[in-house]
Structure 1
Amino acid sequence: MQENNPQDLENDELYEHYRFTAGSGQEPLRVDKFLMNFVENATRNKVQQAAKAGNVLVNDVAVKSNYKVKPNDVVRVVLAHPPHENLLVAEDIPLDIVYEDDTVIVVNKSAGMVVHPGHGNYSGTLVNGLIHHIENLPTNSNERPGLVHRIDKDTSGLLVVAKTEFAMAHLSKQFFDRTTERLYYALVWGHMDEDEGKIEGHIGRSLKNRLQMSVFPDGDFGKHAVTHFKVLERLTYVTLVQCKLETGRTHQIRAHFKHIGHTLFNDERYGGDDILKGTTFTKYKQFVQNCFKTLPRQALHAKTLGFTHPTTGEFMQFNSEVPEDISNCLEKWRTYSENSKDID
């Protein structure tokens, strides 16, 4: 968040980088603190410098950093250059392509790769690699070439990308109509008693931590979300589950499982990187820490993807192997579980 020279503002075209609308229940809060709650990687000094330069607007009026945000205020950050994610640069990044034809491409995304450029991640993303691999990818309303859905940076697995305008519209409608098939494998904390079930609850941005999503009572906040799950394996203090998405909200699986008390294993953002279940023995703590090192991310993999091909009408289904970091972590838990049975 870099500042402009105030004297240049009238002559320069300003580009909106952030826009947030304060909720109806917003208590008075300094705008610099407000923005720090919303903007990932923002520091108070950066926000204050931006405000000093006239780059922070509330209801289209430049404000100082001590301005108190009130209910329904529209807070914007404007800068003299376009957002970096709009300045897409083709990069020769190796892609794990599972399937490709003239209409669609299916990619198996590795953990750690961001899907599209955004604040703090302007290069090395899947989109940077895609526009190097394919010329003239269609764009959606968010200027994200070819994308009809996405998965989180530290989630691995399958994504379908549209190569034509028609394919983008066709696939987008399938995701909207919930006719696609998406199965995920997740390792969650705790022993799940039910063999299968359904988690239902509106998902929206947390009112306490803007980098998290929360589950709200129906009708209060957020959007309707449904996750179906089936237990695949119980491993003492963790459970491997298969999740079927009925809807596709941001962080849906991560938020839903935290909501029912089974946070994803090593999900730092949602507190799964703490030892949430188990014993107080030092040996056990060391074991879990070793598991965290083996799997240094949330234990979530988009394993199966199915959709109707936009031009042939054929229902296509793709399956990906569970990546090595998750497999190795599971093996550690299997060994631990077997040894625990021997002790019992």
Structure 2
Amino acid sequence: MTEFNLQVQDSSERLDRYLSQELPDLSRSRIQQLIEQGNVQLNGKVCTSKKINVKTGDRIFLEIPEARPLKLQAEDIALDILYEDDQLLILNKPAGLVVHPAPGHPDGTLVNALLAHCPNLPGIGGVQRPGIVHRLDKDTTGAIAIAKTDIAYKHLQAQLQAKTARREYLGIVYGAPKAENGVIDFPIGRHRQDRKKMAVVPIEEGGRNAITHWQVRERLGNYTLIHFQLETGRTHQIRVHSAKIGHPIVGDPVYGSGRSIGVNLPGQALHAWRLKLQHPLSGDLIEVTAPPPQSFLTLLEVLRRRAFSSAELQRRD
């Protein structure tokens, strides 16, 4: 059970709005649910009204009950395996595959597929997300590491926290950056109005440190193929950072421009291209490259042809 003790410093907002600002990792709907279920106390008394205004000096106690284990079912879903031994598994995740079950996606997820592939997986790293050390968005493709033992889970988690594991992405963005490389350093937190989105949010307002390194791989006229490397791993980090600097990921339905490019994409043109990590037992360096999906390669080819045709026309003029 998770508990939070808060004292209002300077506010006259509704209780649910105040808590959503103070606890950005919780959605507004989740907070409202906790209030309605009697898990919030205001000045020592249970408060079930989300609309009550809090004021300076008020004390708030929030209790989050342990999540009930989902009834996970093993499902025979094909996996594109890039590396596997008795400790870990690295897959090339396709677009459209949700990583773990959640409201709206109770089955047909990567976790359901893993339970069929690895009979001993349940319970490793938690019963709701067995073996999942890091995640990829539903429509982001590419390399994802799965721990098959508790030792591997803890070791891989430590590597991510220590930033020794290296996660590299390829993304196609709108526009042409002036520089050849750079670092995007903006904190990321839950969007204030749309709780399903992330946004650049100041640290003092609940944002968390987020750093993305980038380098131009290929210029394609009004588009650019960029190599991204994560220093931190916030939700939607590359997508939010790219949009922030004015070069959103092509095909991104949430943070993109909405412009049509004439190519049918299953999601944003963002691919977890390479994963480098230390083996949990041997200590050997494991480097795995995930081939981009055909839709990504097709988009690249189309943009190359367009850029070439445009350059030819300019030369003739």
The normalised TM-score by structure 2 is 0.82
Identity %: 37
In structure 2, what is the Cα distance between the partners aligned to 1:199 and 1:302? Answer: 18
Contact kept in structure 2, 1:155 and 1:298, CA below 8 Å: yes
Q: 1:93 aligns with which of 68, 77, 81?
A: 77
Distance 1:161 1:244 in 2: 20
Asked if the contact 1:97–1:106 (Cα under 8 Å) also holds between the matched residues in 2, the reply is yes
**In structure 2, what is the equivalent of residue 132 of structure 1?**
116
CA contact (8 A) 1:29 1:70 kept: no
Q: Distance in 2 between matches of 1:183 and 1:324?
A: 19
The whole-number CA distance in structure 2 between the counterparts of 1:25 and 1:117 is: 38
Work out the CA distance in 2 between the residues paired with 1:193 and 1:201.
19
The verdict on how the C-alpha distance between 1:22 and 1:191 changes in structure 2, with shifts beyond 3 A counting, is farther
CA separation in 2, counterparts of 1:193 and 1:86?
A: 48
Q: Is the Cα contact below 8 Å between 1:55 and 1:77 reproduced in 2?
A: no
What SS is found at the alignment partner of 1:151? coil
Q: 1:70 to 1:320 in 2, by over 3 A?
A: farther
Q: Is the aligned partner of 1:223 residue 2:208?
A: yes
| Residue type of the alignment partner of 1:148 | V
- Residue 225 of structure 2 corresponds to which residue in structure 1? 240
Alignment of 1:183-198 (within 5 A): 183-198=168-183
How much has 1:206 moved relative to structure 2?
1.8
Q: Could you say which residue in structure 1 is the equivalent of 2:267?
A: 297
Pair 1:117–1:295, CA change in 2 (3 A): same
Is 1:118 paired with 2:118? Answer: no
Asked whether the 8 Å contact 1:156–1:301 carries over to 2, the reply is yes
| Structure 2: distance between partners of 1:194 and 1:23 | 44
Which residue does 2:283 correspond to in 1? 313
Cα displacement (A) at 1:66: 5.2
SS of the equivalent of 2:239 reads helix
**How far apart, CA to CA, are the structure 2 residues paired with 1:256 and 1:211?**
17
Do 2:124 and 2:149's aligned partners in 1 also have CA atoms closer than 8 Å?
no
**Deviation digits for residues 315-336 of structure 1, max 9, x if unmatched?**
0100011111111112221122
Is residue 332 of structure 1 aligned with residue 302 of structure 2?
Answer: yes
Matched residue, 2:244: 259
Partner Cα separation in structure 2 for residue 97 and residue 312 of structure 1: 21
- Residue deviations 1:58-112 (CA, integer Å, cap 9, x gap): 438463575557788667898xx965x6222211111111111111111111011
Pick closer, same or farther for the CA change 1:290–1:176 going to 2, 3 Å. Answer: same
Distance 1:135 1:312 in 2: 23
**Separation in structure 1 between the aligned mates of residue 201 and residue 67 of structure 2, nearest angstrom:** 35
Shift, 1:198, TM fit: 0.9
For the 8 Å contact 1:31–1:69, the answer to whether it is kept is no
Letter in 2 for 1:305: L
- Give the aligned length: 302
Relative to structure 1, the CA distance from residue 70 to residue 107 in structure 2 (aligned partners, 3 Å threshold; closer, same or farther) is farther
Q: State whether residues 8 and 54 of structure 2, in contact with CA within 8 Å, keep that contact through their aligned partners in structure 1.
A: no
On the 8 A contact 1:185/1:301 being kept in 2, the answer is yes
CA shift at 1:340, angstroms?
1.7
Q: Are residues 122 and 192 of structure 1, via their aligned partners in 2, closer, same or farther at CA, if it must alter by over 3 Å?
A: same
Distance 1:194 1:91, change over 3 A: same
Give the number of the structure with larger relative contact order, counting CA–CA contacts within 8 Å between residues 6 or more apart: 2
Name the aligned partner's letter for residue 332 of structure 1.
V
Gaps of 5+ in 1: 1-14, 276-287
Instruction: Give the corresponding residue for 2:145.
Output: 160
Change (3 A) 1:130 1:337: same
- In the TM superposition, 1:18-97 aligns within 5 A as 28-29=13-14, 55=37, 58-59=40-41, 61=46, 63=48, 67=52, 83=68, 86-97=70-81
Specify whether residues 161 and 167 from structure 1 end up closer, same or farther in structure 2 by C-alpha distance, changes over 3 A only. same
Unaligned runs of 5+ in 2: none
Q: Report the counterpart of residue 170 of structure 1 in structure 2.
A: 155
**Offset at 1:209?**
2.2
TM-superposed deviation, 1:342? 2.6
Alpha-carbon offset, residue 221 of structure 1: 3.0
